[in-house]
Structure 1
Amino acid sequence: MARRGQSRTGTRRTAPRSQRRVKDGDVIGVLARTVREVEAAAQRGRVTPSVRTKFQAVALLLREERARVREDATGSESSRTEQLKRLDGVATILATTAVQDAGLLALLAEDAVTSDAARTLRLELLKDAGIEPPAEEAPAPEPVAAAPAATERRVVPQSVVSRQLANPFLAPDFSAAPQRVSRPRRLAGWELLDPLLSSFERAGAGDAACMPLPTPSWLPVPKGLELMPHQAQLVAAAAAGHRTFLLADEPGLGKTAQALLAAEAADAYPLLVVVPSVVKTNWAREAGLWTPHRPATVVQGDGETIDGFADIVVVNYEVLDRHAGWIGDFGFRGMVVDEAHFIKNKSSQRSRNVLELAERLRSRTVRPLLMALTGTPLINDIDDFRAIWQFLGWVDDSKPLGELVDALEDTGLTPADPGFYPAARRCVVDMGIVRRRKVDVAADIPARRIADLPVELDGAAGRSIRAAEQELARRMVTRYETVLANRSSDDAVEGIDADLVRQVARWELKEATTATAGENVFGMMRRIGRAKAGLAADYAAQLARSAGKVVFFAKHVDVLDAAEETFTRQGVRFSSIRGDQTPTVRQKNIDAFVGDPDVAVAVCSLVAAGVGINLQVASNLVLAELSWTDAEQTQAIDRSHRIGQTEPVTAWRIIAAQTIDARIAELIDSKAGLAARALDGSDEEVQSSADVQLEALVALLTDALASR
């Protein structure tokens, strides 16, 4: 948030306070009145852009007034104390109001952009208090275009340079250019964008939320895989020629697979996929599953490791700015934006980057595939639609465009006609809004499923974990080779001695269970859990905003603590259910999660909350850490998947890619199948958690020996 009297470029403009104060006015009274207006609007659930402007203006002026009162040496100590007390009251209302709305909370962040409207309103509030700011504090006009120096440094990976040299002529593709017929515009003089947005506010319970979708025929599904019927319908729409989609299915309904196969059906390659960092590894994995013949690459950091010749390029919002230059010239024919509500603030850098890239894509390719994926298209109010509609090319800053205008003209209605609003909403929905809920497609999906979400552990923590894993493998290899060297020639075994590998793994496991220091498999899993905590909590917060209540499970206290810090920072209310609580406190927290609609997440100990409680108010769970047994994992999932649950339950397992975490997840799943067979009457023995630990070490040692 910009400081008082400071422009976005950081130039100081505030005159000394002795020069500012022309009259002695009651700024605190004006602040109190305005913050009450904001509070009332938030309580009514009507946080409009004007309300957000008031909120930010109050926050700016509150900070300035507090600093002025503290610096004022002319008044008495009792007077300063009384003024600060009144300001604290305003600050309390501001904070409690912000917690109710994620959009307001974001305005309190240090990097929040101060809007022109907020700066202007701040000056008006000063005038209301009888204070005339000096002329130099008048709002300065924004520059026509952002200076390139203000953006993050731009990079061009060497692999991309190689591709550009191999394909020097990336000609625009106008082969499918539609022939637009010029026609008289009956609605030319009407303001249409606000009525279009209002048409969604006026929607009735029976109004359609999904465009008509065709019956699937042939679909580009890899052999051995099968789409659920609701997924197949969207892919069929792309195959039939539809090219813009706001895919707003609830989480757990397979939006990733739908987007990848829609790109295949539309031949929209190269394909750009913009995602939050927590899911970019999962996108690459899903691409390998659903479009295995299309190479996919993930942009990490400066992009030194990317494949410039890939068909699918996955990049996260956080690094998009530094790669926007070459991405704009890459020749993409399709673009997918995951968690598209991230771009709702059109003044944010990531929103500007996405909208600019989409516009460049449309300028090079006629009818490119554009898909916005989000379970939460609306967070604050209907105005959140604007950026998503603009990304899809349905509107610009002030008016509807192209096919949407034609559809509105064809209604024969104007905003003055009573039937305009339902007809206009139908026109927008038919442009490509697809919204299905779990309960609507319950027959398509299993009642209980586990979805793995691989994440990359970047930075020092990730490097440390990988180094520790390598050291553990080296230690076991050394022990294996020592035993092998002391054997007689009669005991020689060709290749890797599987029996000796298992014996070395047993020795390592025994030492790990008794050691009080040193790196071992248990300590490594705990470190992996800590490294995943922030990513897992961030994903849980996204789920809570898009799908309702979420249960978050972890094993270790420090992982639970880290998750709760993330929720607090993001303004997500939660209940904590742990083993060290008294029965009274525990039940109070359970009741808060179940009964209070504002408590979005239950942060649960995998052991303490894995049994004996009912949390069926949530149908989504996040497993931030892996258990050593499928039984413990199943017990946790069954807190929601139980009698009284009306929706299919999805458990999202957060897996640290390229670590022992991924191997353990595979082992747990294999033991789950074994346990099921045993319960069904098999003679096979059900294995314990120690077996999973042993098999993980066996796999680690075997891989290390095989790679020598």
Structure 2
Amino acid sequence: MARRGQRQGGGGRGTARQRRTRPQDNEGIMPVLAKAVREVEGDVQRGRVSQSTHTTFQVVALLVREERARVKAGGEGTEAQRAEQLKRLDGVATILAKTAARHPSLFALLDEGAELSSDAKALKREMQEEAGYEQPEPEAPAERPEGAPAERHQVVPRSVVARQLANPFMPPDFSLAERREHTYGKLDSWELLEPLLRSFEDATDGTKACMPLPPAEELLTRPGRALMPHQAQVVAAAEAGHRSFLLADEPGLGKTAQALLAAQAADAYPLLVVVPNVVKTNWAREAALWTPGHPVTVVHGNGDSMDGFADIVVVNYEILDRHVGWLGNLGFRGMVVDEAHFIKNKSSQRSQHVLQLSERIRKRVGRPLFMALTGTPLINDIEDFKAIWQFLGWIDDKKPRPPLMEALEETGLTPIDRAFYPAARTKVIEQGIVRRRKIDVAATIPARRVADLPVELDGEEGRSIREAERQLARRLVKRYDSALAARSSGAAVHGSDGIDHELVRRVATWEREDGDSSTGGENVFTMMQRIGVAKAELAADYAVQLARSVGKVVFFAKHIEAMDIAEETFARRGLKYSSIRGNQSTTVRNRNIDAFVEDPEVAVVVCSLSAAGVGINLQVASNMVLAELSWTDAEQTQAIDRIHRIGQDQPVTAWRVIAAQTIDAKVAELIDSKAGLAARALDGSDGEVGSSADVQLEALVALLEDALRARTPGLLAG
């Protein structure tokens, strides 16, 4: 198990489930259980409950149950010793119960009939070996007969089962679903879908593709966060009872916050959110910021680490196929589809799953909320919007649904009438199309902003990076412990958390100074480079989405490997790009800049932070992707200033891609804090503007302090 690492068992062992002698306090099963239950308790307290946490919790509960049965059956030792052992086991059981109360998804694992995963079986064996138990050889997994068909990979996460057991659902009351019988009119004999689509291509009345929105009398605010007026209007519409939205605002106008707060206004919980993988983590972060009273969970892989009791469930398109079964039965009252143009091909599996889920929600729930989010202009490839309109409930496979049909009949027109098309376009827009451009709301949004986009590094490379970061932390801890031991007994000055912070900074300084030499493993520089390369494809995928939504995009990276990966991604996606690198001649460099600025077919320019961060004008774009972090805010600002310049007539958004749960996130925080320091210095303060060395040092300090706080109290790592 990666979480618990290598365990070392006692010396010689007896038969299975038998000890050599009565264990001392620091031997046998009890210290193993005590350490494991503290790990679980700490994870829950810190809000970092993962699949590994669930596995450890389940194995501890199982071993406590088995050990109690063994002791009560008359194991070795006196009656008093057995009573003491039972008391200690009850203490572990009490911690398990209290921990499960704080995170209800753990309750299902206390069921005696709960199935053990292969990871749980392996961990149980590992813990028993550490306690001194002999274990039989594990059975080989049964092989599927040759030629037998593979089973469809459908899963039901354990926490979802727990939710259903905790609150068994009654059979759905289909009477709650909206039943509108359409009265036949003169449009019933017409084929209307094609005329409706044509109305968006041919109508020339000049009206914008935006439904009438109620005025936002006041901004909805949270401490430190406020909605912009255009965002508040959509939330007000949901509060007033509107229940379907094609939210087609340009990127950078806050569609995520609008969707989350509209769901809150409509009380559309539980809420299902289907998104591309690259923005999955960002949705969870935004939900925690805007609607903190409604717990959010993200479905990764088979959903083993998700919280089935959450109000908001975020799942990505790529794994929807294995979860569509239980998602259709959970009782969602609302559904949001982000980057909705992903479902434009109705014959694709992802489109079929999304439409299936929306239909099941519609049949079970009265007035559910449906929101399709996309920055793609409505006028382009209007055929692609059939699936989106069907998801929203405006049409079915063959005709408009009753609400839209009744609205069309109110016009008194048919497709033979020229006036039908602008009228029909208006009626479709009134169903819930909302489209605002940055330029439309420029007066109410910042002229320049940096939007963080956290991403998860999955797969083998992601696991390797996280393990390398742990090794770096262990090396720092070892260095700290060695320096602490070398001091005289009275020299240490510990803080309230038991950490000598002065020594921490010295150790971090030594590590940074050793960064260019061999330190026997990863250093902060190589860690950031590996993370940058690992993020490159995800960042490029997001740049593709932006380019197809709003036009030209500037893509910045630090390392050649990251730029290469981005360009390969753009080529695979059929996106034309140019490149600005440090090894180019002036002629090539100028030609590539001109291609991006002047050629409408060149959608992206891939830039080196060091080579293109100054001296060029790329203001033809208003969106930028920062695929890798700089070491200073100044370098980041210089890059943004390539598009945020005099003559730029649109608000600028820089999308900063950050690898969640890695040192990358800490560096981003430090850069932002140094930016505040720089601003104070420019305003006349005596403070010094932070340097790259400052950020590197502070990142190491934070890594070491986090590692020291995470250690079991009273134990020092070797």
TM-score relative to the length of structure 1: 0.77
The whole-number CA distance in structure 2 between the counterparts of 1:220 and 1:639 is 34
Contact 2:274 2:337 in 1 (8 A): yes
User: Shift of residue 242 of structure 1?
Assistant: 0.2
- Cα 1:223–1:402 shift into 2, 3 Å: farther
- Cα 1:653–1:387 shift into 2, 3 Å: same
Q: Which amino acid aligns with 1:527?
A: R
Residue 492 of structure 1 pairs with residue 492 of structure 2: yes
Aligned to 1:445: 445
Aligned to 1:701: 704
Aligned to 1:373: 373
Residue 637 of structure 1 pairs with residue 640 of structure 2: yes
Aligned to 1:427: 427
1:297 alignment partner, SS class: strand
User: Shift of residue 515 of structure 1?
Assistant: 3.8
Aligned to 1:678: 681
Contact 1:567 1:574 in 2 (8 A): yes
Residue 626 of structure 1 pairs with residue 629 of structure 2: yes
Aligned to 2:141: none
Q: Which amino acid aligns with 1:553?
A: F
Contact 1:377 1:385 in 2 (8 A): no
| Superimposed CA distance per residue, residues 139-191 of structure 1 (whole angstroms, 9 cap, x where no aligned partner) | xxxxxxxxxx8995100011111111112124536686667465342211111
| Superimposed CA distance per residue, residues 197-248 of structure 1 (whole angstroms, 9 cap, x where no aligned partner) | 0000013272221000001247764333210000000000000000000000
Comparing 666-675 with 181-190, greater Cα deviation is found at 181-190
- Cα 1:150–1:567 shift into 2, 3 Å: farther
Comparing 622-631 with 152-161, greater Cα deviation is found at 152-161
The whole-number CA distance in structure 1 between the counterparts of 2:483 and 2:637 is 40
Contact 2:182 2:402 in 1 (8 A): no
1:206 alignment partner, SS class: coil
- Cα 1:356–1:182 shift into 2, 3 Å: closer
Q: Which amino acid aligns with 1:420?
A: F
Contact 2:248 2:374 in 1 (8 A): yes
Written as runs of structure 1 = structure 2, the 5 A alignment for 1:564-575 is: 564-575=567-578
Aligned to 2:211: 211
Aligned to 1:597: 600
The whole-number CA distance in structure 2 between the counterparts of 1:623 and 1:151 is 42
Q: 2:566 aligns with which of 551, 563, 566?
A: 563
| Superimposed CA distance per residue, residues 83-124 of structure 1 (whole angstroms, 9 cap, x where no aligned partner) | xxxxxxxxxxxxxxxxxxxxxxxxxxxxxxxxxxxxxxxxxx
Q: Which amino acid aligns with 1:365?
A: V
Contact 1:297 1:310 in 2 (8 A): yes
Q: Which amino acid aligns with 2:701?
A: V
Contact 1:195 1:415 in 2 (8 A): yes
Residue 647 of structure 1 pairs with residue 642 of structure 2: no
- Cα 1:204–1:299 shift into 2, 3 Å: same
Aligned to 2:167: 167
The whole-number CA distance in structure 1 between the counterparts of 2:357 and 2:205 is 36
| Superimposed CA distance per residue, residues 320-345 of structure 1 (whole angstroms, 9 cap, x where no aligned partner) | 00000000001000000000000000
- Cα 1:274–1:178 shift into 2, 3 Å: closer
Aligned to 2:460: 460
- Cα 1:244–1:150 shift into 2, 3 Å: farther
RMSD over aligned Cα atoms: 1.6
Aligned to 1:551: 554
The whole-number CA distance in structure 2 between the counterparts of 1:366 and 1:450 is 40
Comparing 427-436 with 215-224, greater Cα deviation is found at 215-224
Aligned to 1:388: 388
- Cα 1:561–1:161 shift into 2, 3 Å: same
The whole-number CA distance in structure 1 between the counterparts of 2:379 and 2:517 is 51
| Superimposed CA distance per residue, residues 54-74 of structure 1 (whole angstroms, 9 cap, x where no aligned partner) | xxxxxxxxxxxxxxxxxxxxx
The whole-number CA distance in structure 1 between the counterparts of 2:630 and 2:260 is 31
The whole-number CA distance in structure 2 between the counterparts of 1:181 and 1:463 is 55
Written as runs of structure 1 = structure 2, the 5 A alignment for 1:19-30 is: none
| Superimposed CA distance per residue, residues 648-690 of structure 1 (whole angstroms, 9 cap, x where no aligned partner) | 0000000000000000000000000110110110011112110
Written as runs of structure 1 = structure 2, the 5 A alignment for 1:130-145 is: none
The whole-number CA distance in structure 2 between the counterparts of 1:339 and 1:386 is 15
Residue 244 of structure 1 pairs with residue 244 of structure 2: yes
Q: Which amino acid aligns with 1:501?
A: V
The whole-number CA distance in structure 1 between the counterparts of 2:610 and 2:170 is 57
- Among all aligned residue pairs of Structure 1 and Structure 2, give the percentage whose two residues are the same amino acid: 73
Q: Which amino acid aligns with 1:245?
A: F
Contact 1:594 1:617 in 2 (8 A): yes
Q: 1:534 aligns with which of 533, 537, 551?
A: 537
The whole-number CA distance in structure 1 between the counterparts of 2:597 and 2:706 is 46
User: Shift of residue 499 of structure 1?
Assistant: 0.6
User: Shift of residue 251 of structure 1?
Assistant: 0.2
Contact 1:340 1:388 in 2 (8 A): yes
The whole-number CA distance in structure 2 between the counterparts of 1:691 and 1:532 is 24
User: Shift of residue 398 of structure 1?
Assistant: 1.3
Residue 657 of structure 1 pairs with residue 660 of structure 2: yes
The whole-number CA distance in structure 1 between the counterparts of 2:666 and 2:205 is 47
The whole-number CA distance in structure 2 between the counterparts of 1:179 and 1:169 is 22
4+ runs of 1 displaced by more than 6 Å? none
The whole-number CA distance in structure 2 between the counterparts of 1:572 and 1:517 is 42
- Cα 1:332–1:219 shift into 2, 3 Å: farther
2:516 alignment partner, SS class: helix
1:485 alignment partner, SS class: helix
The whole-number CA distance in structure 2 between the counterparts of 1:345 and 1:661 is 36
The whole-number CA distance in structure 1 between the counterparts of 2:326 and 2:635 is 48
1:213 alignment partner, SS class: coil
Aligned to 1:522: 525
In structure 1, the gaps of 5 or more residues are 1-148
Contact 1:340 1:377 in 2 (8 A): no
Aligned to 2:157: 157
Aligned to 2:262: 262
2:314 alignment partner, SS class: strand
The whole-number CA distance in structure 2 between the counterparts of 1:485 and 1:630 is 38
- Cα 1:379–1:186 shift into 2, 3 Å: closer
The whole-number CA distance in structure 1 between the counterparts of 2:157 and 2:409 is 47
- Cα 1:378–1:218 shift into 2, 3 Å: closer
Q: Which amino acid aligns with 2:416?
A: A
User: Shift of residue 487 of structure 1?
Assistant: 1.4
Q: Which amino acid aligns with 2:375?
A: G
The whole-number CA distance in structure 1 between the counterparts of 2:686 and 2:608 is 34
Contact 1:552 1:623 in 2 (8 A): yes
The whole-number CA distance in structure 1 between the counterparts of 2:388 and 2:394 is 9
The whole-number CA distance in structure 2 between the counterparts of 1:419 and 1:167 is 54
1:443 alignment partner, SS class: helix
Contact 2:321 2:353 in 1 (8 A): yes
TM-score relative to the length of structure 2: 0.76
The whole-number CA distance in structure 1 between the counterparts of 2:173 and 2:316 is 27
| Superimposed CA distance per residue, residues 614-644 of structure 1 (whole angstroms, 9 cap, x where no aligned partner) | 0000000000000000000000000000012
The whole-number CA distance in structure 2 between the counterparts of 1:182 and 1:463 is 56
Aligned to 2:469: 469
| Superimposed CA distance per residue, residues 473-512 of structure 1 (whole angstroms, 9 cap, x where no aligned partner) | 1101011111111211221333111110000000000000
1:366 alignment partner, SS class: coil
Written as runs of structure 1 = structure 2, the 5 A alignment for 1:260-409 is: 260-376=260-376, 378=378, 381-409=381-409
- Cα 1:524–1:205 shift into 2, 3 Å: farther
